[in-house]
Structure 1
Amino acid sequence: MILAFDTHYFEDKAKTVAIQFEHWTDEFPSHVYEETLEGIQPYESGSFYKRELPCILSLLKQMDLTKIDAIIVDGFVVLDDEGSLGLGGYLYEALDQKIPVIGVAKNNFAKIKTLKIPILRGDSQKPLYITAKGMNLQQAAAHIQEMHGEYRFPTLLKEVDRLGRE
């Protein structure tokens, strides 16, 4: 199974949603998980992972980790070409480097030159930026490229974002 996560914040709460799907080309999720946590730390510039990682790890407790083939997060896995960890990298480490993590970012991060791949989907001329740990970067980009949807953002990644905002 493949999981895609997104977290939305309001007041001191965070709603984390994960959608599960079986194949990269799936149009619909096979299962949706969600959890709202209270007492969330405020945003700390340069340490975004401190806010979101606990939310993802908490929701992962509802799942059988041995059945997960890959996890997609909104954002970066690495922050520079030296491999400094972003949210996805910290998640990969927290999972004992056993589950590949792919980061899909909507905006470029200039510090990364070689450890990211920009991809264009649909008719969009604005790329998505792919980073990964535990999986070949070219393969990770190909997986996101092949996901269902004719627009810039894959259907299931739009759906996990929508569910988080509800």
Structure 2
Amino acid sequence: MKLIVAVHFEGAQAHAAAAAAFDAWDAAEATQTYVSRIAHVEPAVRGELDLRELPCVMQLLREHGLEPELILIDGFVHLDADEMPGLGQHLYHALGGRVPIIGVSKKRLAGLGAQFEVMREEEAQPLYVTCAGIDIGAAKARLRAMHGRKRLPTLMKLAARLAKNKD
């Protein structure tokens, strides 16, 4: 099972962490979904990397007993081409380096060149992919193969909606 995880914040607090599980890269629907309500999140520290999502994702994995073969996150594994650690790299290490992490972002960081861009369908704007535990070429190919006619894959949108849902 592969997971797409998302965390939704309301102001300084997280509302929920959510995941959409899938088996095939071109799956249009999740095989299972998971949501964990987050009671408390430490505030972000100004001038430091924001890692508030890390304990939320770890809680989600523990609470539901999830042991995915791969995790996709909305964000960066590395912050530049020199592999300055981002959220995804910290998650990779927190999981003992056993679970590959693919980070997907709509935003470009100054330190990421064209080799991190992925075009999906006929979108005018690329996505930016960074990864740990998997080759960048393989990560980009898998992202291109994911279901959805728009820039973001269908299941990434689903995970984000689940995290935002207040029910």
Query: Does the TM-score normalized on the shorter chain lie above 0.5?
Result: yes
Where do 1:93-132 residues align within 5 Å? Answer: 93-113=93-113, 117-132=116-131
Kept in 2: contact 1:21–1:30 (CA 8 A): yes
* Bigger Cα displacement from structure 2, 39-48 vs 139-148: 39-48
Tell me which residue corresponds to 1:19.
20
Gaps of 5+ in 1: none
Match of 1:47 in 2: 49
The 2-side partners of 1:16 and 1:64 are apart by 13
Q: Which residue of 1 aligns with 2:159?
A: 160
> What are the ranges of 5 or more consecutive residues in structure 2 without an aligned counterpart?
none
**Percent of aligned positions with the same letter in both sequences?**
33
Letter in 2 for 1:55: C
1:141 is paired with a residue whose SS is helix
The residue aligned with 2:80 is 80
The residue aligned with 1:31 is: 32
Q: Is the 8 A contact 1:18 1:34 kept in 2?
A: yes
| Cα offsets for 1:57-106 (capped at 9, x unmatched) | 011112342xx221000000011222111111000000110010000001
Contact 1:7 1:15 in 2 (8 A): yes
Aligned residues: 162
CA distance in 1, matches of 2:113, 2:154: 27
Q: TM-score, normalised by structure 2?
A: 0.91
Larger RCO, structure (CA 8 Å, separation 6 or more): 2
Q: Give the whole-Å Cα distance in 1 for the aligned partners of 2:66 and 2:37.
A: 20
